[in-house]
Amino acid sequence: MFRPPCVLLAGHISLSIPGTKLPVPGLSKNHFVIFYYIKTKKSFNTINLKIILIINIILLSILSAQSQRYNTSDGLSQSVVNAICQDSKGFLWVGTQDGLNLFDGHSFKVFRHDPLDSSSISNNYIWRILEDSKKRLWICTYGGGLELYDRQKSEFVHHLKSGNNSINGNDVRSIFEDDSELIWVGTNNGLNSYDVERNKWTDFSSVENPSVPFKNIRWIYPHSKNLFWLLSYESGLILFDKISHRSKLYSHDPADKNSLPINQVWQLIKDQNDIYWLATYGGGLLTFDSKDYEPFGNIKFKRVFNKEFHKNITSLFETAAGDILVGTETPGLRVVRNGKLEKSTFDNPNQNSSGDLVWSMCSNNSGGYWLGLYGGGLKYINPERTKFNHIPASVLSNPIVFSIKKFQEDFFIGTYGGGLNIIDHTHGLKIINKENSALTTNYITDIEVESNSSIWIGTDDEGIFNFNPENGDIKHFTTKNSQLPNHSIKAIYKDSKYNIWVGTTQGMVNLQSPEKVSKKYFSNKFFPRYVRAILEISEGILLIGTDGFGIYRFDLLKNKIEKYGPKELADLQVNALYADSSGVLWIGTRSKGLYKFNDNSGKIINYSERDGICNNSILAIEADEYGFLWMTTNNGIARCNPTTEKIHNYYTVDGLTSNEFVHGALFKDKDGLLYAGSTNGAVIINPDNFRMSTFNPQLEITKLKVLNNYLPLSELSDGELELSYKENFIQIDFASLDLSNPSKNQYRYKITPGTDGWVNLGTEHKINFANLNPNSYLLEISGSNSDGVWSPNTKQIWISISPPFYNTFWFYSLIGLIVSLLAYAYHLLTVRKNVEMERLRLKLASDLHDEVGASLSQIAINANMINYDSNLDKIKRRGEVIMNKSSEIITSMNDVIWSIDSRNDRMENLIEKIKSTVAQLASNKEIKTVFDINIENPARKLNVEFRQNIYLVIKEAVNNAVKYSGCDTISVTIKEKENVLELTVSDNGTGLTDKPKETGNGLRNMKYRIEKIHGNINFKNDCGCKIHVKVKIK
């Protein structure tokens, strides 16, 4: 049988192919290269090689860098990044050609020039950014001079060309701080120094002081304590002595081949081996050895990688490992390692030509690097943090991997639609499918390796196959020639006794030949449930996970199957089963997350998305050699520490090729590597790559919002926040300044008094407090790094909520005084009430005397006279008098009783009384009555005196009109508006007499009553008599 060749590579080797040479650096024992061959015949046993095509190189190593890009769509002010600086706290400052940006891992704060704000940045075009030893932030601008940012006030202090003691130019290209904390600044007009403490500028390029008679200083770099290099874009390289002020120019000399090839020098760095690297714009990359250089002596410049590099070098940076990163106008960041140029680009290692134009670089405090791109925004890369390796979908016959197993050194990969892929460590990649073998389907659902001559292959629609890799034979098991209940295979499991258990959608059977299994452990018992997972937990004891019926326990010795576990597990849709070394069972379900079940204690714990797991559909579970549980899901991979119950989730942003994985497709080989099948190839997990980061980021407050207003962060400069009780809504935004993967930083807080311990926020980076009671609170906020390790650098804020005036000591004292006064007032009120009661009794007696006394006297007189009169007519008249006076008495008594009855103390009661009385009086002479009533508050309560006087005035006025005016119509108007009552009684009769209004007893009595309740009354002849009353309601 002909087998196409495949080579297993180990160590640092080169693979030779006719006409080519592929260097493959950094390979370990698990690294290999696969070559895929296109065959001209479908025959499996005889394959003639016609065309050899190298389709893919799979390097199971760290080749692809973790990366994240930020652009204008993420809030960056502009996509050309000239400068990057990470400050001592961990904030990233990004200078673009249109604004300064502050990045906290979650959002960008943009600083731009505002013509109406003198404290705003002077110019939007940023060249350089420096944080000095005093943690002051300096910004070099194009045309706006040098800016010093005041962090406390969030204001910019401007240094512009304005006289003798000022910077010599406003186009500031470079900045450097020396050991004496002197700030050196390069501008379009030359070199400056600035003594911050003395506020003293010195110009070294002026006519008076021409120490450095060169312009356009775009880079300053130290050579020694007192010597440093100046790079002039138009003149060349300059060495300057800050003590003697001596300088020397190294420029292009056509007669000297060792001189600069061009004067447009761009950037200079010195590596760990004391080699200087000089970037030029137009002359390529140059080097010279500092050990061979005598200050102010000659320099032999050496151009390196002349053919490989573009002549325009835009940026240089040395990594902690000593690699030199080189940015050019050719896309991609190139790497010089140990003096040799790497073939792949640093920011996109799998491709040789694709990448970005790198304009600036900066290391990240938690590892990795920031790249400022020309037109591409900001990019973070970290080659050291890539944790996942892959078998890419491009080398497989189908990208969907349903099962992956490794036997000895060979991989068996079952795809859903592409058949079986075998990576043979000695003979290459082989594909077995229905087109070239006895397989009748390409939809493989599971694989189990029994031995080197027996591979069981489960399919979705054609039952199960047994494949012998040694001779290529394939046997097909169906419902017709075996015990299979149907052809949809969901799980295959080989137990310790070599039984081959096959789970289908309609049951589980054993397909092993009886002679291969010990008799006491062999069983052909049929289990009639949908089976998705099988696990042997001890010798002869199997657990069977079903779809909707929970878990069953199968005792092979007793040949007995029974329900397993408590009722909480009874109806689970089980996807995966795993038993750890302590005997605890871990259960992955289709939609209810992960269950942890201890059979000895009966304790059950459920973990779901609310507990931090990435998805509630757990598809497979396996433990690594360190005891961590790995779980594939429908949305990423979860890693759980069973001891601490801490869960870490991984997604495509962490290096996965897909977030969607496949049921059961998780396998651990003898070397401890894990293999997970996904919808886009297979993921290879090396647990050694998942060491937790020890970086402890700072946590900083980024926004403070009270009510609907954002406050300056200077309000928190002393760690205290003082608010009033009315400022009852507080929002605090914060950031844990591990910028390597900020979307995975975790947060928590506690507030004392208030919470019992820490409150986990997950990745939410803001908290809101509403209606905090007046008190003093200690708010503590903690953040983690991107690996979820909590940093000890917590932020503490004392929040003081001042109480309302009615919750203060002095107010309580005032209340005590008021209560005392009220008690005294109550005493006075009680006395006054008693006096008023006495007055009421006197008033009642007076009213009865006035209203009833006279009438009773007349009744008594007339009754007595009847005894002496014999004239019947006189007796009759006296009887009528007695009857009328009796009626008046009854009416007066009713009026008095009505006035003092508390049930009649509302406005509507007064109105009804007036209406009924007016109607009764007018009806005696058939006079028409007209009412116009407009009352705002009919339920308003009125005191006795007010009601009685208003009522009696109206009654008197109507009574006079009925008796004396000769009218046929009486109009009564009552209006209430703004706490004022207006009443008008008018008639169309003869009106008042010519005598003064005040002379009549009735008129005088009405005036007296109205004045008694502090009102006004007017009498007017207007086609009859009109009486108008206006009184404030009390």
418-468 per-position pLDDT tens digit: 999 998 877 788 999 999 999 999 999 999 999 989 999 999 999 999 999
- The C-alpha atoms of residue 570 and residue 591 are separated, in whole angstroms, by 15
Strand order, beta sheet including 275-280: 265-270, 275-280, 285-289, 302-304
Q: Assign 3-class secondary structure to 596-643.
A: EECCCCCCEEEECHHHCCCCCCEEEEEECCCCCEEEEECCCEEEECCC
- The C-alpha atoms of residue 890 and residue 859 are separated, in whole angstroms, by 13
Question: Rounded mean pLDDT of 53-59?
Answer: 33
Residue 349 has a pLDDT of 45
Please report, as a single letter, which amino acid is at residue 270: K
Q: What angle do CA 1001, 1002, 1007 make, to 5 degrees?
A: 95
Residue 198 has pLDDT above 80, yes or no: yes
Residue 1031 has a pLDDT of 92
**pLDDT > 70: percent of the chain:** 87
Residue 385 has pLDDT above 90, yes or no: no
Contact call for residues 92 and 84 (beta carbons, < 8 A): yes
- Regarding the domain with residue range 699-802, which homologous superfamily does it belong to in the CATH classification? Immunoglobulins (2.60.40.10)
- The C-alpha atoms of residue 883 and residue 272 are separated, in whole angstroms, by 132
pLDDT tens string 722-761: 999 888 899 999 999 999 999 989 999 999 999 989 999 9
Residue 645 has a pLDDT of 87
CATH number for the domain formed by residue range(s) 808-900: 1.10.287
Residue 690 has a pLDDT of 86
Higher pLDDT, 563 or 861: 563
Structure tokens at 152: 């406390």
- CA-based torsion, 25, 28, 29, 35: positive or negative: negative
- The C-alpha atoms of residue 183 and residue 202 are separated, in whole angstroms, by 10
Contact call for residues 137 and 131 (beta carbons, < 8 A): yes
Residue 263 has a pLDDT of 96
Specify the range with the lowest mean pLDDT, choosing from 73-87, 629-643, 757-771, 882-896. 882-896
Question: Rounded mean pLDDT of 254-270?
Answer: 95
Q: What share of the chain is helix, strand, coil (3-state, %, to 5)?
A: 20, 40, 40
DSSP state of 196: T
What mean pLDDT value characterizes the chain?
86
pLDDT tens string 976-1016: 888 899 999 999 888 876 554 444 677 888 888 888 888 99
Structure tokens at 819: 């209560």
Per DSSP, the three-state class of 847 is helix
Of the pLDDT bands very low, low, confident and very high (cuts 50, 70, 90), residue 488 is very high
- The C-alpha atoms of residue 467 and residue 419 are separated, in whole angstroms, by 13
Q: What are the residue boundaries of the structural domains of the chain, listed by start?
A: 576-691, 699-802, 808-900, 904-1034
Residue 217 has a pLDDT of 97
Helix (H) or strand (E) holding 810: helix 809-848
Residue 27 has a pLDDT of 33
> Which residues 6+ apart lie within 8 Å of 332 measured at CB?
345, 346, 347, 348, 351, 352, 353, 354, 355, 356
- The C-alpha atoms of residue 879 and residue 893 are separated, in whole angstroms, by 21
Alpha-carbon Rg for the chain, nearest whole angstrom, is 50
Q: Give residue for tokens 């030509």.
A: 353
Q: Give residue for tokens 């900083």.
A: 700
Of the pLDDT bands very low, low, confident and very high (cuts 50, 70, 90), residue 839 is low
- The C-alpha atoms of residue 964 and residue 916 are separated, in whole angstroms, by 21
- The C-alpha atoms of residue 927 and residue 917 are separated, in whole angstroms, by 13
Residue 407 has a pLDDT of 87
- The C-alpha atoms of residue 468 and residue 455 are separated, in whole angstroms, by 6
Residue 990 has a pLDDT of 85
Of the pLDDT bands very low, low, confident and very high (cuts 50, 70, 90), residue 646 is confident
Residue 346 has pLDDT above 90, yes or no: no
**Phi, psi (rounded to 5 degrees) for 402:** -90, -20
Helix (H) or strand (E) holding 815: helix 809-848
- The C-alpha atoms of residue 278 and residue 301 are separated, in whole angstroms, by 9
Structure tokens at 318: 């040395």
Residue 962 has a pLDDT of 87
Of the pLDDT bands very low, low, confident and very high (cuts 50, 70, 90), residue 815 is confident
Residue 21 has pLDDT above 90, yes or no: no
- The C-alpha atoms of residue 191 and residue 249 are separated, in whole angstroms, by 14
**Phi, psi (rounded to 5 degrees) for 21:** -145, 120
pLDDT tens string 127-184: 999 999 999 999 999 999 999 999 988 999 999 999 889 999 999 999 999 999 999 9
Residue 674 has pLDDT above 60, yes or no: yes
- The C-alpha atoms of residue 486 and residue 505 are separated, in whole angstroms, by 7
For 73-105, the DSSP string reads GGT-S-SBEEEEEE-TTS-EEEEETTEEEEE-S
Nearest CA-CA partner of 421 in 437, 435, 404, 440: 404
Q: Assign 3-class secondary structure to 5-17.
A: CCCCCCEEEEEEE
DSSP state of 342: -
Helix (H) or strand (E) holding 666: strand 661-668
Question: CA of 733: how far to CAs of 75, 110, 240, 736, in Å?
Answer: 17, 17, 47, 11
Residue 240 has pLDDT above 70, yes or no: yes
Inter-axis angle of helices 907-923 and 944-960, nearest 10: 20
Of the pLDDT bands very low, low, confident and very high (cuts 50, 70, 90), residue 848 is low
Looking at 849-992, list the stretches that DSSP marks H as alpha helix, in order from N- to C-terminal side: 854-866, 872-900, 907-923, 944-960
Residue 350 has pLDDT above 50, yes or no: no
Query: Which CATH topology does 904-1034 take?
Result: Heat Shock Protein 90 (3.30.565)
Nearest CA-CA partner of 332 in 355, 358, 359, 362: 355
Question: Rounded mean pLDDT of 231-258?
Answer: 96
Residue 247 has pLDDT above 50, yes or no: yes
Residue 1005 has a pLDDT of 83
Task: Give the range with max mean pLDDT: 688-692, 770-774, 794-798, 880-884.
Answer: 794-798
Count other Cβ atoms within 10 Å, centred on residue 241. Answer: 17
- The C-alpha atoms of residue 732 and residue 711 are separated, in whole angstroms, by 10
Question: Rounded mean pLDDT of 777-801?
Answer: 94
Nearest CA-CA partner of 248 in 210, 297, 185, 178: 297
- The C-alpha atoms of residue 351 and residue 345 are separated, in whole angstroms, by 7
pLDDT tens string 525-579: 999 999 999 999 999 999 999 999 999 999 999 999 999 999 999 999 999 999 9
Per DSSP, the three-state class of 128 is strand
Residue 16 has pLDDT above 70, yes or no: no
**pLDDT > 90: percent of the chain:** 61
Per DSSP, the three-state class of 919 is helix
- Regarding the domain with residue range 576-691, which homologous superfamily does it belong to in the CATH classification? YVTN repeat-like/Quinoprotein amine dehydrogenase (2.130.10.10)
> Which residues 6+ apart lie within 8 Å of 574 measured at CB?
532, 533, 545, 546, 547, 550, 551, 587, 588, 589, 590
Per DSSP, the three-state class of 153 is coil
Q: Assign 3-class secondary structure to 707-727.
A: CCEEECHHHHCCCEEEEECCC
Specify the range with the lowest mean pLDDT, choosing from 2-6, 134-138, 300-304, 978-982. 2-6
Q: What angle do CA 39, 41, 45 make, to 5 degrees?
A: 95
> Which residues 6+ apart lie within 8 Å of 433 measured at CB?
397, 418, 419, 420, 439, 442
Pairing of strands 647-650, 661-668: unpaired
Please give the model's pTM, rounded to 2 decimal places: 0.68
DSSP state of 522: -
Cα 247 from chain centre: 55
- CA-based torsion, 117, 121, 122, 124: positive or negative: negative
Residue 80 has pLDDT above 70, yes or no: yes
Helix (H) or strand (E) holding 984: strand 980-987
Contact call for residues 636 and 659 (beta carbons, < 8 A): yes
Q: Give residue for tokens 């009759």.
A: 876
Question: Rounded mean pLDDT of 873-902?
Answer: 71
